[in-house]
Amino acid sequence: MPKIKTNSGSKKRFALTGTGKIKRKHAFHSHILTKKTKKQKRNLCHFTLVDRTNVNQIKELLAIK
């Protein structure tokens, strides 16, 4: 069996935590920031965990078992 390649875009966007969960960045924090409130921008700058419904898809892309 050939080795499975990791999806290059995914490895830049997702990271594993120490407990094995997958963390991601929030969307909507890269441009058009003038119309967003300070509170909204502040809350978007933190990392969050990937929803459990998407975990298997992300693990496939990252070639994690």
Quick one: which H or E segment has residue 60? helix 55-62
The predicted structure's pLDDT at residue 61: 95
Kindly tell me if the per-residue pLDDT of 57 is higher than 90. Answer: yes
Q: Please tell me what DSSP assigns to residue 10.
A: H
Task: Give pLDDT tens digits for 7-54.
Answer: 999 999 999 999 999 999 999 999 999 999 999 999 999 999 999 999
